[in-house]
Structure 1
Amino acid sequence: MELTQIRLLVSDFPTAYRFYRDVLGLRPQFEAENGPYAKLSPDTGPAPIALQDRAQMAGVLARLGVEPEGYRALVVLRVEDLDAAHAELTSRGAEFTLAPGPMGDRMRVAYLEDPEKNLIELQEWLTLREQAGSAVG
Structure 2
Amino acid sequence: MSHRLTHYRILVDDFAAAHRFYRDVMGLEPVFPADGGPYAEFRTGAGSILAIFQRSLMDAAIGQPHRPRTDSIDRIVLCFNVDDVDKAASELERRGVRLVSPPADQPDWMIRVAHFRDPEGNLIEINAPLPRQ
Aligned to 2:48: 47
Equivalent positions of 1:25-64 (< 5 A) are 25-29=27-31, 30-33=33-36, 35-42=37-44, 44-61=45-62, 62=64
Aligned to 1:6: 8
Equivalent positions of 1:26-105 (< 5 A) are 26-29=28-31, 30-33=33-36, 35-42=37-44, 44-61=45-62, 62=64, 65-70=67-72, 71-104=74-107
TM-score, normalised with respect to structure 1: 0.85
Give CA deviations for 1:87-122 in whole Å, capped at 9, x if unaligned: 111111111111000112521100000000000011
Give ranges in structure 2 of 5+ residues lacking alignment. none
Aligned to 1:119: 123
Calculate the aligned-residue CA RMSD, in Å. 1.8
SS of the residue corresponding to residue 99 of structure 1 reads strand
Q: Which has the higher helix share?
A: 1
Give the distance between the partners of 2:126 and 2:19, measured in 1 at CA: 19
Instruction: Give the 4+ runs in structure 1 shifted more than 4 A.
Output: none
Paired residues of 2:105 and 2:130 also in contact (CA < 8 A)? no
Q: Paired residues, what number? A: 127
Q: 1:21 to 1:91 in 2, by over 3 A?
A: same
Q: 1:64 to 1:76 in 2, by over 3 A?
A: farther
Q: Counterpart amino acid of 1:86?
A: A
Q: Counterpart amino acid of 1:68?
A: T
Give CA deviations for 1:41-87 in whole Å, capped at 9, x if unaligned: 22x31122100100111111206622234223211000010111011
SS of the residue corresponding to residue 79 of structure 2 reads strand
SS of the residue corresponding to residue 65 of structure 1 reads coil
TM-score, normalised with respect to structure 2: 0.87
Q: 1:107 aligns with which of 108, 111, 115?
A: 111
SS of the residue corresponding to residue 52 of structure 2 reads strand
Give the distance between the partners of 1:7 and 1:68, measured in 2 at CA: 18
